[in-house]
């Protein structure tokens, strides 16, 4: 059995920042990451990030990931296990994982769950045809494996992910037939949308996909305009030829481990699914188990990094580390989160978090 | 409308346009960034502190066009590729438009590139006057394009490839 002070599950921006923060106060940390390359979603992001300088805005996602990873590797308090999937958390606090092809048990004093999110899928006729992918898979093919994933793509979803992945596809020389969005408004940042449109990619709001067709794989899709009750308007159908349909219809928090550990959960629409109830320090209702990043509500890498920092500081402080400096640092992290969420784009998150607090989270 | 199709309207643009007097006085930046998003690299980028956000990172950028000298540093730094520089004093016939560009291949100085408007429509062929690399890390290129003056507020991108 492996003993450790703090176990971090997931090596995305939230997990890496959690480990660095906990270590900065002196705690010993183990990170378990199921992929062979830590960084989470950041690994696939070739675009420049938003947010403020404090969260490395203006740098590209993968560069931020590399930078965090180098810091983690150079940190003597942090051990990093890659190719390690955490399978279960039991009530006695024992965590099981698959590490180097073996089943390993870990006994951590504190656990920070930073497992991120999973992509949502969309039901429509023909959605089982080869050639229909989630945006994450397309990004991995393109930005990690260096494969041109298609000749011509229909993108479904005009949130930031749909807008950004369309741009990246276009950069890779792929033609984008259109970005369609069911809602009447573009959900992602308008600067991303304008950048796509001015590159010749139309964004069609109030449009949905009726069906995908093709013999052995996707050859095209029928799309149509929808009314304000989300019903297709007859006569507005369009036949879009494409060899890939890419779905960017949202993410939901990857919370299996939270459920298993017995954390109290709540369905909060604004946070994109079931999320654990947490207090101001990101501790769940199970003492000693913390969460950070998309697992506690779909947001951004910028906020995931700050949440990671806050959870890491809090977990380390609860073990008695950093008595002097921890409160100050925790306060600074909370203020940074407030700042990021202060604008209209943060309204959804603010509403979601208020609901979490109302369910008995915040102390 | 911008929120439905990603294309800023005349009204949107009017809010961020420098005055005719300022445009007549030399190069100046135009931040076509209309939404309150948590973003501020433009503020940090400007060496003259001509871009500000008075209240918070969620403000839209306020460009002090009188203080801006059109140097173009901000063009390559904005992650939204939303800032352009227009020099209406470039020559009798042409304005110079500085455009952020992140596609390959990148055109060479002296080549003709097909200009696109904010809807992605082709506006004609224009000479590339200058190409500045954003460097190894930043990677965004700034392309200076010679555009007839009446199209200087229309052309905002170039079509990838096919340069002549
Ligand atoms: C296309 C796209 C564009 C984006 N653009 C921006 C942007 O411009 N600005 C911005 O701030 N944010 C952006 N984001 C959002 C940002 O990437 C995410 O919010 C952020 O990565 C969340 O961080 P995280 O650490 O919570 O989760 P993730 O990055 O998802 O990391 C979770 C990690 O946990 C690992 N993991 C999961 N389960 C287990 C397990 N059981 N055992 C071990 N490891 C596990 C995963 O392999 C993964 O590495 C974008 C996202 C996408 C998809
Ligand atoms: S063009 Fe130069 S001076 Fe003007 S706002 Fe941009 S960086 Fe500042
Ligand atoms: S950096 Fe660009 S996208 Fe961000 S606020 Fe400034 S102008 Fe807008």
The first and second tokens of residue A170, run together, are 């276009």
Distance, in Å, from the CA atom of A311 to the CA atom of A290, rounded to the nearest integer, reads 6
**Which one, of A236, A169, A176, lies nearest residue A208 by Cα?**
A236
**Which one, of B93, B61, B94, B65, lies nearest residue B77 by Cα?**
B61
Using CA coordinates, name the residue in chain B closest to A164: B80
- Mean of per-residue pLDDT scores for chain A: 93
In angstroms, what separates the C-alpha of A243 from chain B's closest C-alpha?
22
Distance, in Å, from the CA atom of B127 to the CA atom of A362, rounded to the nearest integer, reads 60
Distance, in Å, from the CA atom of A108 to the CA atom of A211, rounded to the nearest integer, reads 49
Contacts with A53 from chain B: Cβ below 8 Å: 40-41, 44
Encode pLDDT of A153-211 as tens digits: 999 999 999 999 999 999 999 999 999 999 999 999 999 999 999 999 999 999 999 99
Encode pLDDT of A140-162 as tens digits: 888 888 888 899 999 999 999 99
Asked if A63 reaches chain B (Cβ–Cβ under 8 Å), the answer is: yes
Distance, in Å, from the CA atom of A19 to the CA atom of A64, rounded to the nearest integer, reads 15
What pLDDT band is residue A52 in, cutting at 50, 70 and 90?
A: low
Using CA coordinates, name the residue in chain A closest to B39: A51
Residues 6+ apart with CB under 8 A from A324: none
Question: Percent of chain A at pLDDT above 70?
Answer: 97
> Where are any strands of DSSP class E within chain A?
2-9, 29-32, 78-81, 84-89, 95-99, 102-113, 117-119, 132-134, 152-156, 175-181, 203-205, 207-213, 220-225, 238-241, 244-247, 251-253, 265-268, 273-276, 289-291
The partner residue sitting opposite B4, judged by closest CB among A58, A186, A198, is A186
ipTM reported for the complex, 2 dp? 0.96
Asked if B1 reaches chain A (Cβ–Cβ under 8 Å), the answer is: no
Q: How far is the CA of A174 from the centre of ligand 2 (A)?
A: 33
Contact by Cβ (8 Å): B29, B72: yes
Asked whether residue A363 carries a pLDDT value surpassing 50, the answer given is no
Contact by Cβ (8 Å): B16, B31: yes
Asked whether residue A124 carries a pLDDT value surpassing 50, the answer given is yes
Domains defined for chain A, CATH in brackets: 2-118+251-358 (3.50.50.60), 121-247 (3.50.50.60)
Q: Is the pTM of this model over 0.95?
A: no
Distance, in Å, from the CA atom of A214 to the CA atom of A244, rounded to the nearest integer, reads 11
The partner residue sitting opposite A200, judged by closest CB among B33, B78, B116, is B116
Ligand 1 atom with the smallest distance to the CA of A15 is 25
């Amino acid at each position: 059995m492996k003993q450790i002070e703090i176990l971090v599950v997931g090596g995305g921006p939230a997990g890496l920042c959690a480990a660095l923060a906990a270590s900065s106060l002196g705690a010993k940390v183990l990170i378990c990451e199921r992929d062979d390359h830590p960084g989470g979603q950041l690994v696939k992001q070739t675009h420049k990030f938003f947010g403020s300088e404090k969260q490395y805005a203006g740098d590209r996602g993968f560069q931020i990931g590399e930078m965090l990873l180098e810091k983690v590797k150079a940190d003597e308090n942090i051990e990093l296990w890659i190719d390690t999937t955490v399978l279960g958390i039991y009530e006695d606090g024992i965590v099981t994982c698959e590490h180097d092809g073996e089943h390993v048990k870990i006994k951590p004093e504190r656990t920070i769950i930073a497992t991120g999110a999973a992509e949502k899928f969309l039901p429509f006729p023909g959605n089982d045809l080869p050639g229909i992918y989630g945006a994450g898979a397309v990004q991995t093919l393109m930005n990690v494996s260096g494969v041109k994933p298609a000749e011509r793509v229909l993108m479904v979803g005009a949130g930031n992910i749909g807008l950004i992945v369309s741009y990246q596809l276009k950069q890779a020389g792929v033609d984008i037939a259109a970005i369609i969005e069911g809602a009447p408004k573009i959900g992602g940042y308008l600067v991303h949308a304008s950048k796509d449109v001015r590159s010749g990619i139309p964004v069609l709001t109030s449009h949905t996909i009726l069906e995908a067709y093709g013999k052995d794989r996707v050859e095209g899709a029928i799309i149509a305009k929808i009314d304000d009750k989300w019903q297709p308007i007859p006569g507005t159908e369009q036949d879009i030829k494409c060899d890939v349909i890419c779905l960017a219809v949202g993410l939901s928090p990857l919370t299996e481990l939270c459920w298993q550990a017995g954390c109290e959960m709540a369905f909060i629409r604004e946070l994109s699914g079931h999320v654990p109830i947490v207090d101001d320090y990101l501790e769940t209702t199970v003492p000693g188990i913390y969460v950070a990043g998309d697992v506690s509500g779909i947001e951004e890498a910028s906020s995931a990094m700050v949440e990671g920092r806050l959870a890491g500081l809090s977990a380390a402080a609860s073990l008695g580390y950093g008595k002097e400096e921890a409160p100050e640092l925790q306060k600074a992290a909370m203020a940074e989160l407030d700042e990021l969420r202060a604008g209209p784009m943060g309204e959804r998150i603010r509403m979601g978090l208020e609901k979490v607090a109302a369910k008995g989270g915040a102390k | 409308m911008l929120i439905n199709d990603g294309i800023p309207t005349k009204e949107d643009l009017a809010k961020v346009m420098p005055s005719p007097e300022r445009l007549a006085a030399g190069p100046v930046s135009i931040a076509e960034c209309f939404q309150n998003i948590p973003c501020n690299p433009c503020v940090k980028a400007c060496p003259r502190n001509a871009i500000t956000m008075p209240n918070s990172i969620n403000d839209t950028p306020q460009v002090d066009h009188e203080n801006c000298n059109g140097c173009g540093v901000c063009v390559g730094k904005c992650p939204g590729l939303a800032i352009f520089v227009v020099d209406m004093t470039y020559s009798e016939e042409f304005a110079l438009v500085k455009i952020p560009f992140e596609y390959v291949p990148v055109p060479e100085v002296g080549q003709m590139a097909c200009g696109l408007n904010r809807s992605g429509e082709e506006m004609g062929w224009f000479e590339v006057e200058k190409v500045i690399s954003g460097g190894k890390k930043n990677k965004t290129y700034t392309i200076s394009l010679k555009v007839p003056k009446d199209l200087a507020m229309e052309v905002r991108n170039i079509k990838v490839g096919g340069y002549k």
